[in-house]
Chains A and B, each alone.
Chain A
Amino acid sequence: MSQTNVKRPPMGGRGPGRGPAPVEKAQDFKGTTKKLAKEYLAKYKVAIAIVLIFAVGSTIFTIVGPKILGNATTEIYNGIVSKLSGGTGIDFSKIATILLTLLGLYVISAIFSFIQGFVMTGVSQKITYRLRNDIVAKINRLPMHYFDKKTHGEVLSIITNDIDTVSQNLNQSITQIITSICTIIGILIMMFSISWTMTLISLFILPITAVIVKIVVGKSQKYFASQQEYLGHVNGQVEEIYGGHTIVKAFNGEEQAIKEFETANDTLYHSAWKSQFLSGLIHPVMNFVGNVGYVAVAILGGYLAIKGRITVGNIQSFIQYNKQFTQPINQIAQVSSMLQSMVAAAERVFIFLEEKEEVKDVKKPVSTEGLKGNVTFEHVQFGYDDDKVIINDFNATVKDGQKIAIVGPTGAGKTTMVKLLMRFYDVTKGAILIDGYNIKDFNRGELRKMFGMVLQDTWLFNGTIKENIKYGNPKATDNEVIEAAKAAHVHHFIKTLPKSYDMVIGEESANISAGQKQLMTIARVILTDPKILILDEATSSIDTRTEQQIQAAMDNLMKGRTSFIIAHRLSTIKNADLILVMDHGDIVEQGTHKELLEKDGFYAKLYNSQFEECEDEIE
């Protein structure tokens, strides 16, 4: 399991160890870059070569521009000089030719950069398309325990933010690196070809700028970091206070909340002010130094022109080059941070894609057809972590059609059994058999088709009621849907809705109660006709009438099927063919209600403490 220690942007909150980093850095820059190049870019070799050629071409044509423009200036200058000395004056036709050539060059350059952009966008979009597909496919192949460790937000952020970063930066950084390097080399050549003394002066300016920028950035970085950190705090606080609005109000916590917020906000203000001011300072300072260099170059150029060593046009083109020179250097600095964050994002994507997957399905899977639903647990041992076994040696035989109640105090690990049955997790030792076949010998998909689950948390998606009921069995006819709804006692309710079965359910439909939603999920399960059922009896937040309906619907559902029930209701427990008593994740007792009471063990105690009082009170 490779835990990522990549620092993420701050999500807020004051949890321990949540230090935001100002600049994201990949842990393995080289490796990730290689991977990105080999696995994703390599496929587009030709396209990238085209991008390269056209980017270089486009830059070259742009670079030549000022030199030619300089020629025009020289021509005008010469013309004026000759006119003053009584000559022919300016040769307009020559200037026109020069300018037309220039125009031609710029047009070609524009076309080149257009082609380059077109191809590059295609490549980067295709790569992100593939990355997205790969990730979504991966999600479905990952074992459940991966998601126990990660929050939804983390996984979502990989799909949305990280992929976005890769896509955008890939597109821009590659072309920008090429053009920037080309421009720098090209400009240097042009500058040296005009005058090496002038070039040396303008080059001398560079390290000065670099040092100044470095000092300012170094200072502002510190404030940037604390700005980021406190932005996280402020956001986290707002989120929390808003989320716990009722509590804040009920406990008169408003003042305290405001005070805490103000402290954080104050720190944020100060660090933001400083970081913004300092980073704002960079530009004017750089401009100033640049201008000083500009003046120096102009003076020297004038001197050289008087000496006749260069032409007037040369000065003009040189100054133009000089101005252009800093731009690609800035660009490279920008691109390098872009590359950094791209590679960091790509790294997270790759780490995700390389997560260990669920054990592949077996080669010769056993068919589930005709199976009845006898379930045998043979010496089952299991732990979420290898060093922490929570189920030690569990044995039980369940005949088809039986009802098995799983009981135990809160947090006893009742859902663990369910997760093992459906192979969300695999047992560490021993085996679970269905009709004599090890569940590892089935394809996961087939195996899960044998199960129907009704959980406390209902899951309905954005679609019509009919689509929701048909989810597990898309081929079902309308009549079958209605029959299922009737068996689930929800048909009448659906009939009262504005569009009945065609009403669209939003994820949080306000007009449908939690209970009705649960009834719909029961209808969904009925329609898939599973052999084995897993039910989680509701404990909360459903009004009693609906609860009765749910009970009746569940009774309908359980007829003739093996059912595992996470039970809270006394009647269910008493009627169960087998009770599994769980405590601290382990199955501590099993048997029928009567047997277990006679045994006078954990179950008897649990039963007495939970129910005796109610009965006493009623008597």
Chain B
Amino acid sequence: MEVQVHGKSTIVNLIPRFYDVTGGELRIDGVNIKEVPQKELRAKIGFVPQKGMLFSGTIASNIKYGNPEASEEQMKFAARIAQAEEFINNKEETYDSPISQGGTNVSGGQKQRLSIARAIAIDPEIFVFDDSFSALDLKTDVNLRNALAKETKNKTVIIVAQRISTILNADQIIVLEEGKMVGKGTHEELMKSCEPYREIALSQLGEEELE
């Protein structure tokens, strides 16, 4: 399931229960998330925020943040999927390279990739990407999504996205406008049935590419 446009970050914040729903219910595998202990719930969710947020320490300590017991292998695997391996290996101290407070010594794209690696490292059931690909260039974005697609075959992935290209392959796209759902379906279905979605797609990809 994937989401698009207005009010989306809010929805994403509801899944790990940063906020509770005011009305209605949010269920995972049929269980109301209010009935799951917060800790257990969150251990199942790989959350990647909009802005890559790192802690002071090393690259390794950041990737392993949610899963301190992760093995060397797991850590490297997470970095590889997140397309972070190359730049990490280019650093002198590789995984032991220091990260300063707020991660000011790595670039925005690198921060985001490390945040993604951190989420992969806990091996969650559900991935939540809150517009997490925006700081990446298109090439890295594509590679990352390909790698992630293999890894996440049996997992639920919720992506908040601006770029249509990010979500073309989604099983289900939800189009939100001003907090309300205005369309639901695959890319092809929405192109036919959902006017706001069509507009967005056209503006981003251009007429010729869509045809």
Is A15 in contact with B56, judged by CB distance below 8 angstroms?
yes
The stretch among A31-39, A174-182, A538-546 that forms the contact with chain B is A538-546
Is B98 in contact with A543, judged by CB distance below 8 angstroms?
no
A contact residues around B56 at 8 Å (CB): 13-15, 236, 240
Is B107 in contact with A617, judged by CB distance below 8 angstroms?
no
B202 and chain A: residue at smallest CB distance: A548
Is A611 in contact with B169, judged by CB distance below 8 angstroms?
no
Number of CB contacts from chain A to chain B under 8 A: 126
Most central of B16, B39, B139, B199 by chain A CB within 10 Å: B139
**How many Å lie between the Cα of A14 and that of B162 in the bound state?**
36
Is A251 in contact with B203, judged by CB distance below 8 angstroms?
no
A contact residues around B66 at 8 Å (CB): 250-253
Is B205 in contact with A250, judged by CB distance below 8 angstroms?
no
Is A410 in contact with B137, judged by CB distance below 8 angstroms?
yes
Asked whether any CB of chain A lies closer than 8 Å to the CB of B172, the reply is: no
Given A249-B42, A410-B137, A541-B131: A618 and B168 interface contact (C-beta under 8 Å): yes
**How many Å lie between the Cα of A15 and that of B101 in the bound state?**
7
Given A14-B56, A540-B162: A617 and B168 interface contact (C-beta under 8 Å): yes
Residues of B within 8 A of A (CB): 5-6, 16, 18, 39, 42-43, 45, 47, 49-50, 53-57, 65-66, 68, 98, 100-102, 107, 109, 115, 118, 122, 131, 134-140, 142, 162, 165, 168-169, 187, 199-200, 203-206, 209-211
Is A614 in contact with B136, judged by CB distance below 8 angstroms?
no
**How many Å lie between the Cα of A300 and that of B137 in the bound state?**
89
In the assembled complex, the CB of B58 is this many whole angstroms from the nearest CB of chain A, namely: 11
Is A543 in contact with B6, judged by CB distance below 8 angstroms?
yes
In the assembled complex, the CB of A550 is this many whole angstroms from the nearest CB of chain B, namely: 11
Given A251-B66, A252-B42, A543-B6: A12 and B206 interface contact (C-beta under 8 Å): no
A contact residues around B169 at 8 Å (CB): 617
In the assembled complex, the CB of A568 is this many whole angstroms from the nearest CB of chain B, namely: 8
A contact residues around B102 at 8 Å (CB): 240, 243
B contact residues around A410 at 8 Å (CB): 107, 109, 135-137, 140
Per the 8 Å Cβ criterion, residues 1-39 of A in contact with B are 12-16
Is B101 in contact with A251, judged by CB distance below 8 angstroms?
no
**How many Å lie between the Cα of A613 and that of B139 in the bound state?**
10
B137 and chain A: residue at smallest CB distance: A410
Asked whether any CB of chain B lies closer than 8 Å to the CB of A140, the reply is: no
Option from B57, B122, B139 in Cβ contact (under 8 Å) with A251: B122
**How many Å lie between the Cα of A541 and that of B39 in the bound state?**
30
B contact residues around A250 at 8 Å (CB): 16, 18, 42, 45, 47, 49, 66
Is B203 in contact with A541, judged by CB distance below 8 angstroms?
no
A236 and chain B: residue at smallest CB distance: B101
